[in-house]
Amino acid sequence: MEEDFSVNRRVSRLRRRSGMSRDRLAAMTGIPYGHLCRALAGRRPFYADELPALARALGVSMDELLEL
């Protein structure tokens, strides 16, 4: 079964659009750098408890982050 990492792709797109480095995003969210990089590469999902911090750091609403 293939995993759906569409949230990962949106986070990656939003991060690039903002010009934020992976280091900075990791620091702002508290997500360990290695975990963040694996998630951005689609090798692990972002966990539900990480999403609010990602939305805040990227300056978007949860609805926009999740494309609701």
Determine the structural domain holding residue 49 and report its residue range: 6-66
pTM of the complete model beyond 0.85: yes
Does residue 1 form part of some domain? Answer: no
Report the CATH number that the domain containing residue 33 is assigned in CATH: 1.10.260.40
The widest CA-to-CA distance across the chain, in whole angstroms, is: 34
Contact 35, 29 (CB under 8 A): no
Does residue 29 form part of some domain? Answer: yes
Overall number of domains in the chain: 1
Does residue 39 form part of some domain? Answer: yes
Angle of CA points 17, 21, 24, to nearest 5°: 120
Question: For every one of its 68 residues, what pLDDT tens digit does the chain have, with 9 covering 90 and above?
Answer: 345 678 999 999 999 999 999 999 999 999 999 999 999 998 999 999 999 999 999 999 999 998 87
